[in-house]
Amino acid sequence: MCLCACLCQARVDYLTGSWWPVLEDLYGTGIPVYRFIQRPGDLVWINAGTVHWVQAVGWCNNIAWNVGPLNSYQYQLALERYEWNQVKKVKSIVPMIHVSWNVARTIKITDLDTHKMIKHCLLQSMKHIQVLRDQLVASGKKISYQSRVEDEPAYYCNECDVEVFDLLFVTSESSSRKTYVVHCEDCARLHSPTLSGVVVLEQYRIEQLMSIYDSFTLALPPSSR
Ligand SMILES: [Zn+2]
How many Å lie between the centroid of ligand 1 and the Cα of residue 193? 14
Domain end residue (candidates: 50, 65, 80)? 65
Cα–Cα distance, 224 to 120 (Å, whole number): 25
The confidence score (pLDDT) of residue 83 equals 95
Same domain, yes or no: 90 and 36 = no
The confidence score (pLDDT) of residue 74 equals 94
Domain count, the chain: 2
How many Å lie between the centroid of ligand 1 and the Cα of residue 156? 8
Over residues 61-90, the pLDDT tens digits come to 889 998 889 999 999 999 999 999 999 999
Cα–Cα distance, 117 to 114 (Å, whole number): 5
Same domain, yes or no: 43 and 25 = yes
How many Å lie between the centroid of ligand 1 and the Cα of residue 129? 16
Cα–Cα distance, 137 to 151 (Å, whole number): 29
The confidence score (pLDDT) of residue 16 equals 85
How many Å lie between the centroid of ligand 1 and the Cα of residue 162? 6
Q: Please, which residues have CB within 8 angstroms of residue 223's CB and are 6 or more apart in sequence?
A: none
The confidence score (pLDDT) of residue 100 equals 98
Same domain, yes or no: 19 and 93 = no
Same domain, yes or no: 137 and 210 = yes
Helical packing angle, 72-87 and 112-138, nearest 10°: 30
The dihedrals phi and psi of 145, each to the nearest 5 degrees, come to -80, 130
How many Å lie between the centroid of ligand 1 and the Cα of residue 163? 8
Residue 172 belongs to what H/E stretch?
A: strand 167-174
How many Å lie between the centroid of ligand 1 and the Cα of residue 99? 19
Domain end residue (candidates: 34, 65, 96)? 65
- Strands 143-145 and 199-202, how do they pair? parallel
**DSSP single-letter state for residue 148:** P
Q: Which domain holds residue 44?
A: 1-65
Domain end residue (candidates: 15, 46, 65)? 65
The confidence score (pLDDT) of residue 34 equals 94
How many Å lie between the centroid of ligand 1 and the Cα of residue 184? 4
How many Å lie between the centroid of ligand 1 and the Cα of residue 58? 44
Amino acid identity at 147: S
The confidence score (pLDDT) of residue 1 equals 61
Q: Of the candidates 221, 203, 219, 217, which has an alpha carbon nearest to the alpha carbon of residue 122? A: 217
How many Å lie between the centroid of ligand 1 and the Cα of residue 85? 13
Same domain, yes or no: 174 and 138 = yes
Same domain, yes or no: 113 and 8 = no
The confidence score (pLDDT) of residue 49 equals 81
In a 10 Å sphere around its CB, with 0-12 CB exposed, 13-18 middle and 19+ buried, how is residue 75 labelled?
Answer: buried
In a 10 Å sphere around its CB, with 0-12 CB exposed, 13-18 middle and 19+ buried, how is residue 216 labelled?
Answer: buried
What count of residues does the chain have?
A: 225
How many Å lie between the centroid of ligand 1 and the Cα of residue 123? 22
CA 120-214-134 angle, 5° bins: 70
How many Å lie between the centroid of ligand 1 and the Cα of residue 183? 5
Same domain, yes or no: 207 and 162 = yes
How many Å lie between the centroid of ligand 1 and the Cα of residue 169? 10
How many Å lie between the centroid of ligand 1 and the Cα of residue 41? 44
How many Å lie between the centroid of ligand 1 and the Cα of residue 173? 16
In a 10 Å sphere around its CB, with 0-12 CB exposed, 13-18 middle and 19+ buried, how is residue 163 labelled?
Answer: buried
Same domain, yes or no: 138 and 156 = yes
pLDDT-flagged residues of the chain (< 50): none
Same domain, yes or no: 185 and 211 = yes
CATH number at residue 168: 2.10.110.20
Same domain, yes or no: 5 and 106 = no
